[in-house]
A and B are shown apart, each in its own frame.
Chain A
Amino acid sequence: MSTAKTRYFLLGSAAVLTAGLAAGTVAYTGGMPRAFASNAGPDELSLVPAGAAVVAYANVQGVMSSEFRQRLTTLIDDEGKGRQQFQEHTGIDVERDIDAIIAALAPGGDGLGHENGFVALRGRFDIGRIEALVASKGGQISEYKGARLVQAPGRADETDDDQADAGEPAEPEPTNREHRREHPSPVIALVNGNLVIVGSDAAVKAAVDRSQGAGTASISSDGEFVRMLESVDQNSTVWAIGRPKAFSAGSELPTQLLQQLPDVKWFAASGHLNGGLQATVRAEGKDDEAGKNMREVLQGVLALARLQLNAKPELKPLLNSVQVEGHGNGVALHVTVPAEMLDIIVKQAASTHDGHVKQLKQLHQRAEN
């Protein structure tokens, strides 16, 4: 018989093996308590409905304070016009007032495939000032379950929901109706001093419901989504997770692209902004064959790009940083864009843009002649 020492050793070894496998099994079957989950995500996820096609998050303060953004701003040099325009219309200073943004896009329930979604802003908002600003521009203010609903001027009575609520039998001119369906008026819900939700009427109201613990289940209860969320680095400044198949239903995307999309079951993209940008894009196919195809396509594109390096050697550090990995039905692409590489990319883009403008001018002149 083996000695006691040997028996204890083998028992200890078996115990470690069993404990590890048990922990993995519990995690795999979804029984691991949330406290043990590596990435619970932002609190605003509770606003997002289960089944959302795309969910995106941005740590605004992280983006604004990053060297990457500052360098990009210097290179593009638009003097923050977009930010100023947004502040003029809403009274919200993106750089100072907003801490984080979460956006969700859900497949539309109108049978036409039109998406409805919302953007939730977390930060510090002066509700009175925003209300006054919108009212001064002719916007309408109403209340929904304690939240102030602000609707854009002249569009408040045009949403389908409002028509349905009013029981209007009248059918407006088809072209106008379609136009309104395609361009539903945005609604701003001022939930409290720290939370503002902007989006389609139905989506915003549903998000307000969920913010009060009512309404349909949130995406946090979707095990598949949580699994993808856990694969995203919790320190990411920005991330997005989505299901292209749900997103593509009834969309206006090109047919060729749509034919490829169903193979991608889930995608998760994340980026960490610091001096440069470190980004990771993961995708899961419907099966191992789809995963293998995605990996081969990416490897092929990467090889093709490397062949072109002689013509543009300045892009070598960028291409060398690209890594493709994966197994089974998954693929992951990692890329690092150093801050100095950003200068090169912007200059390349600018020169390409100038070239296109020049070509267009020449074509225009020829046409005139």
Chain B
Amino acid sequence: MFEVESSTRVERSSVVPGTEELIINMGPQHPSTHGVLRVILRLDGETVKDCDCDIGFLHRGTEKIGENITYTMFIPYTDRLDYIAAPSSNLAWVTAVEKLFGWEIPMRAHYIRTLVAEFSRISSHLLWLATHALDIGAMTVFLWCFREREMVLDLFEHAFGARLTVNAFRLGGLFQDVPQKFLDLSQEFADLFPGRIGDYETLLTDNRIWLQRTRGVGVISADDAIDLSLTGPILRGSGVRWDIRRAQPYAAYPYLDFVVPVGENGDVYDRYLVRIEEMRQSTRIIQQCLAQLPKGPVSCKVPRTIKPPAGEVYHSIENPKGEFGFYIVSDGSETPYRVRIRPPSFVNLGGLKKLALGGLVADVVAIIGSIDIVLGECDR
């Protein structure tokens, strides 16, 4: 937190009235801070002179909780980390634990996990696009995106019985196979969705006002993005082709064909384009998963009490927001010795100051939107 300077009054001749900098408290109750983020801005007029994030309003001690409960019991807690894309968080946890065991997961489980993870990417990106566009003032996109997001949530309900905190996966695979209706509806959605992305794009991509508001705003170079360890679309928007689905493949990604889109300028607009293209690629992945879905069991043989060997493991996946990882230390007992979460939003939010300095208040809103944070995993 920066010090409030007591002598901000500028010394000028007595004819010119003095100016003072304004310290404004954006959030935790603010429509555009996407949850309970508090940003303290020091403004000169509307220009941002300094910017500081105050996080932790949603801190629940998830890491500590992880030390006190078994590996299976922790899965529902991961739903509450990135609650916009709960299956992604589930996937990060179960794959990390499975890596600790060295289990062999059946291919059908891999494919269904990939399918659901991509659906969660679409649902997360839709929520991002909806709120990001709303922040910049385009209200219609918000409701259009929610129309499709509703379909994705309905799909989750078909497969797992819940819509938001789905608790989708189990250690060793899935709890049970998904119903045929889920697969049919998924196919229907995958056929319909690219047209809908086109609809959003007609409202935004070539819209002059949208271009003015996003081009050249919140620019970050590839080197700076790497230095700040930013991951996900914000890193790819700066032109770095780094996607864990490609770099360290997990689940069924090694068998699937998809493109990792990157931007050039690293501004808000490029991040927008990257995410739009990611939704298209996710649809492609879904199509391939449905076409290639192998038959067979959906879970490997899992012992009744899950006691992994003593040791430690770090495993991360490509969450819609960036690298989402778990570092687990096991002492051989039923509960982990230590659980450490590597949340993408927390790390990406660290870049806010660099992005926002020198911009206007309206840019801060656009930049927060383009970072795409979710406070559940930021505050843990």
A and B bound? no
Chain A interface (Cβ within 8 Å of chain B)? none
Chain B interface (Cβ within 8 Å of chain A)? none
